[in-house]
Amino acid sequence: MTQFSKLFEPIHLGPTRIKNRIFNPPHGTTLSSQGKVTDDLVAYHEARARGGVGLIVIEGMTFHHTYDYKGAFLYAGDDAVISGLSKLHQACTAHDVPVFGQLFHAGRAVRLSHDGSKSLAYSASSVADERYRTVPVAMPNDMVWEIIDGYAQAARRLAEAGLDGVEILCSLGYLISQFLNPHTNRRDDEFGGCFENRLKFLREILNSVRATLGAEKTLGIRISLSEFTGNAMSPEEMLKICQVIEQDGMVDYYSVITGSSATPEGWVRVFPPMAIEPGFVAGDSARLKQAVSKPVLVAGRINQPQLAEQILADGSADMIGMARALIADPDLPGKAKSGQVDDIRACIGCNQACVGHRLAHHPISCIQNPVSGRERELGVPKSIRTARKVMVVGGGPGGMKAAFVAATRGHTVTLFEKNKQLGGQAILAQALPGRAEFGGVITNLKRELEIADVNTVLGTEVTLDQIKTVAPDVVIIASGASAGLPEVEVEGAHMVDSWSLIRGEVNVGSRVVIADWACDWSGLGLAEKLARDGCQVRLMVGGIVAGESIQGIVRDHWIGELHKLNVEIIPYARFAGADSDTAYFQHMTSGEPIICEAVDTIVTCFAPKSENLLLSELGEFGGEVLVIGDAVAPRTVEEAVLEGFRAANNV
Ligand SMILES: Cc1cc2nc3c(=O)[nH]c(=O)nc-3n(C[C@H](O)[C@H](O)[C@H](O)COP(=O)(O)OP(=O)(O)OC[C@H]3O[C@@H](n4cnc5c(N)ncnc54)[C@H](O)[C@@H]3O)c2cc1C
Ligand SMILES: Cc1cc2nc3c(=O)[nH]c(=O)nc-3n(C[C@H](O)[C@H](O)[C@H](O)COP(=O)(O)O)c2cc1C
Ligand code: SF4
């Protein structure tokens, strides 16, 4: 008997029976190739099916030459997609998990190119897009009909592949939203003007897709009630649209998200980072549930079964989507069902290896779970012939993951950490404003150490003598990094480094300049902290935009917060030196000076230094030595954890 009784109730979406209420929402993986399913994509979804999810909705597929970027998307516009989809479907249904496919067309929201030249974008009307900076071509009437038929043909291919249902993406500011919204639809044919005409595109799509699918397959739509974007449709208008669609009787479910691709603030809500409250979308799904009778699905920062159960128990939705939660831990449903809730590796909303990779055109993964997207390489731990004695030096993210993996494979592992606490730099990372959830990395890794029964020794700095005493077969050096300082002349200035400030070891005055070489979380976070503490803050960015090195959605949201706090942000500012109350910068392209006067304190966010002195002494040690993470070169948790995993998987 599970503690999550609602979560594990079966449900029907149209003709499809689903064994529980957790679904894997559509998400682009960049695991396809040339528009087709690969073995990597099959393995990715099979891992989630095996982990106990009820339903998988595959990533948005394109289907028409006006938006056909096969390098990034599955392409349902020709029959070549069918066999791969069929393989994927069989791999999931073997675990009693039905599979739907999502169809989408981005309209004017075109970022990609076929050959580097700027692609033509098509939309309902020629209304410029703020985020993609495209001026689209208004679709001629016959092209609109061609696209409606394109949806039906693509749906036919999905059905031929055996998929159990089709979802039409009607939101996020993409093509269908562009037809629905009077701001982007200024047509004067039968698809523009009054409410009915603007709705006609969607209704024709649903009619033709339903005619293709018949009654045996499920048909759903994905919509946003709240787009968090100027010129958006209001929630009331979206509710009215859903009610009309409901009367037409074509769809079996509604899937609710928020946000839009049309503006930066709308985009933040599509992939809500940790700064946004978990489960914030449930209010919207609850409203829709009041307005329609068919099941309502919801997704958006629902990363734990307790919250999912609560949303179902409140009657705010009928199914719970977990995209990133299942990227972080595909086994979440099974663990929830069997009561192993503490073993769930909860997603922390960092957006780094999932959204970050996707938007940079790389296969998705997770900073906490490098197996995600690499199921065929790392999914099955390598077996060992003889157990070895493994000593891990450093209890940061890299060392903890390495210790877990080596122990899981059957080696005898001891992890040494010189501090009294595990976590390494993640302890500092979680102390920045709005970043407490980053501490989840530590919680999750600690739990893994417990599960694998790793012997952990805290408060012990490893030396060569100690290594000789322990006499391991393998030493994994995961000793991380320490704060770095700028190599500039500073006379009489009060200058402090970011790490000391986060640790509360130093004080600052009321007029602070942050010299931000790193352009990462530290500069943004300390600017926020100091501004909230009442300081006047100037963030001098050694790059083209504050937070240039971090994932764009996290950065954009943070810059908005700094704007509200009146933090002055000056880009292209190379730190050149300081004296008692002045900080000197150089513009990074003009070479001209930028002078900050009346400065009490300069906070530096500079290149950390790898801590690997021990390495140079290990010549005398006869065993195997591996170095991982920031000890190799300072980077992020993602590389530390991945390198820890790979190193431990090979010892
Ligand atoms: C303020 C801040 C915010 C950050 N935010 C993010 C973020 O949002 N996302 C992200 O991905 N990355 C972030 N980072 C970077 C990230 O935390 C590091 O890249 C990551 O922690 C590196 O992991 P690691 O295990 O290699 O090393 P570390 O985390 O540095 O851990 C090394 C550990 O080894 C221990 N150690 C060193 N020498 C010895 C010895 N001789 N014996 C025993 N123990 C020893 C240290 O005490 C330390 O605990 C942030 C860093 C900082 C400072
Ligand atoms: C890498 C990635 C790609 C996504 N691609 C799509 C997509 O193709 N279609 C879509 O409707 N939503 C897409 N989404 C949005 C998710 O379906 C989901 O609504 C969002 O991630 C919020 O849910 P979560 O907090 O459970 O991750 C994507 C999300 C991620 C993380
Ligand atoms: S990379 Fe971060 S946001 Fe993405 S799934 Fe992993 S923990 Fe969640």
Q: Would the pLDDT of 616 be above 90?
A: no
pLDDT value of position 621 = 85
pLDDT value of position 613 = 87
**Domain 484-609 classified CATH 3.50.50.60?**
yes
Specify the residue with its C-alpha closest to ligand 2, atom 15: 27
Distance 449 CA to ligand 1 centre (A): 17
Specify the residue with its C-alpha closest to ligand 3, atom 7: 347
pTM of the model: 0.97
* 253-257/218-224 β-pairing: parallel
Cβ of residue 617 lying under 6 Å from some atom of ligand 1: no
Q: Which of 351, 528, 637 to mutate to test the pocket of ligand 1 (most atoms within 8 A of CB)?
A: 637
- Ligand 3 atom with minimal separation from the 346 CA: 7
Specify the residue with its C-alpha closest to ligand 2, atom 10: 26
Q: What is the pLDDT of residues 428-480, one digit of tens each?
A: 999 999 999 999 999 999 999 999 999 999 999 999 999 999 999 999 999 99
pLDDT value of position 93 = 98
Least Cα distance to 62 among 106, 109, 95, 1 occurs for: 106
Cβ of residue 574 lying under 6 Å from some atom of ligand 2: no
CA distances for 344 relative to 330, 336, 368, 447, 448, angstroms: 9, 8, 12, 9, 10
Q: Would the pLDDT of 1 be above 80?
A: no
* Average pLDDT for 622-629: 94
Of all ligands present, the nearest one to the C-alpha of 260 is: 2
pLDDT value of position 192 = 98
State the Cα–Cα distance between residues 261 and 259, nearest whole angstrom: 7
Specify the residue with its C-alpha closest to ligand 3, atom 1: 366
Q: What share of the chain is helix, strand, coil (3-state, %, to 5)?
A: 35, 20, 45
Of all ligands present, the nearest one to the C-alpha of 29 is: 2
* pLDDT tier at 622, thresholds 50, 70, 90: confident
Helix residue ranges, H only, 97-234 = 141-160, 175-180, 195-213
User: Hey, where are the domains in the chain?
Assistant: 11-377, 381-480+612-650, 484-609
Cβ of residue 637 lying under 6 Å from some atom of ligand 1: yes
Q: What is the pLDDT of residues 552-587, one digit of tens each?
A: 999 999 999 999 999 999 999 999 999 999 999 999
Distance 108 CA to ligand 2 centre (A): 19
Our separate counts of H helices and E strands in the chain read 22, 27
C-beta separation of 60 from 168 below 8 A: no
Cβ of residue 165 lying under 6 Å from some atom of ligand 2: no
* pLDDT tier at 496, thresholds 50, 70, 90: very high
pLDDT value of position 502 = 98
Cβ of residue 366 lying under 6 Å from some atom of ligand 1: no
Furthest CA-CA distance within the chain = 83
Burial group, residue 337, by CB count within 10 angstroms (0-12, 13-18, 19+): middle
Residue tagged 């698809």 (tokens): 191
Cβ of residue 638 lying under 6 Å from some atom of ligand 1: yes
Q: Say how far residue 470 (Cα) sits from the centre of its chain.
A: 41
Q: What is the pLDDT of residues 498-514, one digit of tens each?
A: 999 999 999 999 999 99
Distance 191 CA to ligand 3 centre (A): 40
Q: Would the pLDDT of 136 be above 90?
A: yes
Q: Say how far residue 592 (Cα) sits from the centre of its chain.
A: 39
Of all ligands present, the nearest one to the C-alpha of 398 is: 1
Distance 357 CA to ligand 3 centre (A): 11
Of all ligands present, the nearest one to the C-alpha of 353 is: 3
Q: Which of 22, 24, 27 to mutate to test the pocket of ligand 2 (most atoms within 8 A of CB)?
A: 27
Q: Would the pLDDT of 620 be above 90?
A: no
- Ligand 3 atom with minimal separation from the 354 CA: 4
Q: Which of 348, 421, 425, 645 to mutate to test the pocket of ligand 1 (most atoms within 8 A of CB)?
A: 425
C-beta separation of 505 from 575 below 8 A: no
Cβ of residue 594 lying under 6 Å from some atom of ligand 1: no
C-beta separation of 384 from 406 below 8 A: no
Distance 123 CA to ligand 2 centre (A): 23
Q: How many CA atoms does the CB half-sphere of 464 hold within 13 Å? A: 11
Task: Tell me the CATH class for 11-377.
Answer: alpha beta
Cβ of residue 257 lying under 6 Å from some atom of ligand 2: yes
**Domain 381-480+612-650 classified CATH 3.40.50.720?**
yes
* pLDDT tier at 299, thresholds 50, 70, 90: very high
Q: Residues enclosing ligand 3, CB less than 6 A? A: 324, 327-328, 347-354, 366-368
C-beta separation of 124 from 192 below 8 A: yes
* pLDDT tier at 2, thresholds 50, 70, 90: confident
Cβ of residue 213 lying under 6 Å from some atom of ligand 1: no
Of all ligands present, the nearest one to the C-alpha of 349 is: 3
* Average pLDDT along the chain: 97
State the Cα–Cα distance between residues 182 and 180, nearest whole angstrom: 7
Distance 374 CA to ligand 3 centre (A): 15
Q: Which of 271, 280, 304, 351 to mutate to test the pocket of ligand 2 (most atoms within 8 A of CB)?
A: 271
Distance 625 CA to ligand 2 centre (A): 40
pLDDT value of position 398 = 98
Q: What is the pLDDT of residues 21-67, one digit of tens each?
A: 999 999 999 999 999 999 999 999 999 999 999 999 999 999 999 99
**Residues of the chain above pLDDT 70, percent:** 100
Distance 299 CA to ligand 2 centre (A): 8
CA distances for 163 relative to 28, 349, 577, angstroms: 18, 30, 63
Least Cα distance to 309 among 633, 2, 651 occurs for: 2
Q: What is the pLDDT of residues 173-212, one digit of tens each?
A: 999 999 999 999 999 999 999 999 999 999 999 999 999 9
